[in-house]
Structure 1
Amino acid sequence: MADKFMHAVQYDSYGVADLEHVEVPIPKPCKGEVLIKVEATSINPVDWKVQQGLLRPLFPLKFPCIPATDVAGEVIDVGPGITRFKVGDKVVSMTTIIRNGGLSEYAVGSERMTVLRPPEVSAAEGAGLPIAGLTALQALTYHAGITLDKTTTTTTNILITAASGGVGQYAVQLAKLGNVHVTATCGNHNIDLVKGLGADEVIDYKTSQGEALKSPSGKKYDVVIHCAPSIPWSTFESNLSSNGIVLDVTPVLKTYCSAILKKLTFSKKKLVPVIMYPETKNLEYMVGLVKDGKLKTVIDSKYPLSEAEKAWAKSISGHAIGKIIVEP
């Protein structure tokens, strides 16, 4: 298929370069890769942060770049050595930025980060899972040590900020699979949504109580899953239990400096930057939860590929409720 062409959206430099609609050759899968006909992709903040050069030391790009790493679709070709997938399989995949991304009609995914998608999971639901879903899962399980099956007898008190956003909406639902009391913050117009996801207490972040992150029931937080823009450490510290931990899922340089300072001062209250590490078993687990009706993807909006720049701008605005989906 390498001699055929596809519609794609790309950019040619760092900064605020415009997205371009182009016709480019359909990529051919290499060893250990599958070629996916894209049915849906989702936009994540990391996508435009990479374009703006904010993560350049971590993710150096080769231009032109087709962005968006989270895709769902159908396998239409496989590279050498592929044993887990065949043509016709419906899948969810996390592509690599340096290969080619989901804002296109076809995308290449590695076998290592591609999983089967059962009929019960729509393409849009599946496309929302990789970055946002896995970030929420790893923050709760790897970093906070939460068991998501209610087998523990001790209740963990958790605060989730920006709970109606891409990571937050998954974090609320996943946390409630365990023995967890969830306090959540969001805008006033999203309170009913977040309650519907399972949160025990929901605070409007624009109120004085929300700004102070105070639990309505007076609880101290054992864990904070911090998904919002920067909040001073002092605001968190007064609300944490004696060994409380703040997990920042959108860390910036200041986060790392503060985390180091906490270590140097031997503080029992910790700040931990969370960088998601993709694992196949975790993506399979998340897809399985959606299949079983234990997890859902809250979808903010859907855009056709021809209007991908609108989806991009919506993500940059920071006002999305759940996931932004682009469909060819």
Structure 2
Amino acid sequence: MNNKTMKAFTFKRYGKSPGLGFEEIACPAPGPGEILVRVHAAGLNPIDNMIPTGIFKPVLHFKLSATLGSDLAGVVVAVGRRVTRFAPGDEIYASTFDTGTGSLAGFAVVPESAAALKPANLDFVQAAALPMVALTSWQALNERAGLRAGQKVFIPAGSGGIGSFAIQLAKHLGATVATTTSTGNVGWVTQLGADEVVDYKKEAFENVLSGYDVVLGTLRGDVLEKSTRILKPGGKVVSLIGPLDAAFARERGLNVVLRLVFGLMSRKIMRLAKQRGLTYSFLFVHPDGGQLSQISKLIEAEQIIPVVDRVFPFTETEDALAYLAAGRAKGKVVIEMPKS
């Protein structure tokens, strides 16, 4: 590589003034089990706006200043000496979430185990929209909930990034899907595969739905507690937004104090779940190239299509994050990197 430095979108500190902006930083070099990727596009996720606030500071460790972003699609330019699955020139996509590497940069180092070949029928922007929402949906519905054909799943906020993918995956698994959305998106989420759509501007989902097997927690506030009312005994709540629980703290190897804190945070929902014969768990997505390879097959077979709301140039990353934070995106927000 000729370039010694690259432009990256970073945050400098935690809190209300995180110092978001562009920095010229050193180009990374791949370790033995890593690949170096020239980033062509980077998908944004709500957690990108949350990390600089410090809310995940006890759980996610960054060396400040740190590059934001975790979804990427690009071309392999170099590989570590132990890498066997990829070679320079390969077009890949990956999530680098929780690996210490940010995707909003010219180049990114990716663990070989986190990457997969980009679906052949997608461009880089479409592929970059997928990793976190695809892996989160896969791990929540397939692994944690064990969703099976004939079961009923409630996926709130069907027009969002997670919702638009999770609905399609749940339908592929043979489930009946209910969701919520605003009036203007009712027809659209139906096209994605939703069987029952509740217009939240007109009615409360907990008064309409009943007899469900699984709820995917995607919205903050009291939605999670209300959703326990629509589940039948033995039902499962898998939350992507918290509250964090003691099981998660143990899984992460966190100290006794944090285990206690997370246990207290989840006490109310755990009590509600127990009263109704349900199980509650918090899911923290993990990178997995093997799962992405399986997802690629579904994409290439057009069983699932990526949903991209807006594409911003790299120079407008801050505007893109603000747009995402407004909560009106219909699908994913993606950053396209400069061509040169």
Instruction: Tell me the distance in 1 between the aligned counterparts of 2:225 and 2:8.
Output: 45
Q: Contact (CA 8 Å) 1:259, 1:273: kept in 2 or not?
A: no
Instruction: Tell me the distance in 2 between the aligned counterparts of 1:89 and 1:145.
Output: 33
Count of residue pairs brought into register by the alignment: 317
Q: Contact (CA 8 Å) 2:41, 2:334: kept in 1 or not?
A: yes
Aligned residue in 2 for 1:10? 10
Which runs of 5 or more residues in structure 2 are unaligned? 245-263
Q: Contact (CA 8 Å) 2:97, 2:287: kept in 1 or not?
A: no
The verdict on how the C-alpha distance between 1:231 and 1:131 changes in structure 2, with shifts beyond 3 A counting, is same
Q: Contact (CA 8 Å) 2:72, 2:93: kept in 1 or not?
A: yes
Which runs of 5 or more residues in structure 1 are unaligned? none
Q: Contact (CA 8 Å) 1:33, 1:108: kept in 2 or not?
A: yes
Q: Contact (CA 8 Å) 1:66, 1:97: kept in 2 or not?
A: no
Aligned runs of 1:148-159 on 2, under 5 Å?
152=149, 155-159=150-154
SS in 2 for 1:244: strand
Matched, 1:251 2:224: no
SS in 1 for 2:306: coil
Q: Contact (CA 8 Å) 1:129, 1:286: kept in 2 or not?
A: no
Instruction: Tell me the distance in 1 between the aligned counterparts of 2:195 and 2:223.
Output: 24
Aligned residue in 2 for 1:81? 82
Aligned residue in 1 for 2:167? 172
What per-residue deviation string (whole Å, max 9, x for no partner) do you get for residues 90-114 of structure 1?
0012225564311111111110101
SS in 2 for 1:313: helix
SS in 2 for 1:63: coil
Aligned residue in 2 for 1:161? 156
Q: Contact (CA 8 Å) 2:72, 2:95: kept in 1 or not?
A: yes
Aligned residue in 1 for 2:253? none
Instruction: Tell me the distance in 2 between the aligned counterparts of 1:257 and 1:302.
Output: 40
Aligned residue in 2 for 1:224? 215
Percentage of identical aligned residues: 31
The verdict on how the C-alpha distance between 1:138 and 1:255 changes in structure 2, with shifts beyond 3 A counting, is farther
Aligned runs of 1:204-223 on 2, under 5 Å?
204-210=199-205, 212=206, 214-215=208-209, 219-223=210-214
The verdict on how the C-alpha distance between 1:86 and 1:316 changes in structure 2, with shifts beyond 3 A counting, is same
Shift of 1:193: 1.5
- Which is worse superposed, 281-290 or 233-242? 233-242
SS in 2 for 1:140: helix
Amino acid in the other structure paired with 1:78 = V
Q: Under a length normalisation based on structure 1, what TM-score does the superposition of the two structures give? A: 0.90
Amino acid in the other structure paired with 1:285 = Q
Matched, 1:192 2:187: yes
Aligned residue in 2 for 1:288? 297
Instruction: Tell me the distance in 2 between the aligned counterparts of 1:246 and 1:273.
Output: 8
Amino acid in the other structure paired with 1:12 = K
SS in 1 for 2:291: helix
Matched, 1:325 2:300: no
Matched, 1:261 2:256: no
Partner of residue 231 from structure 2, selected from 228, 240, 245: 240
Q: Contact (CA 8 Å) 2:67, 2:105: kept in 1 or not?
A: yes
Aligned residue in 2 for 1:50? 51
Amino acid in the other structure paired with 2:24 = E
SS in 1 for 2:271: helix
Aligned residue in 1 for 2:313? 304
Q: Contact (CA 8 Å) 1:67, 1:97: kept in 2 or not?
A: no
Aligned residue in 1 for 2:27? 26
Matched, 1:313 2:322: yes
Q: Under a length normalisation based on structure 2, what TM-score does the superposition of the two structures give? A: 0.87
- Which is worse superposed, 307-316 or 238-247? 238-247
The CA RMSD measured in Å over matched residues stands at: 2.0
Amino acid in the other structure paired with 2:208 = K
Amino acid in the other structure paired with 1:324 = V
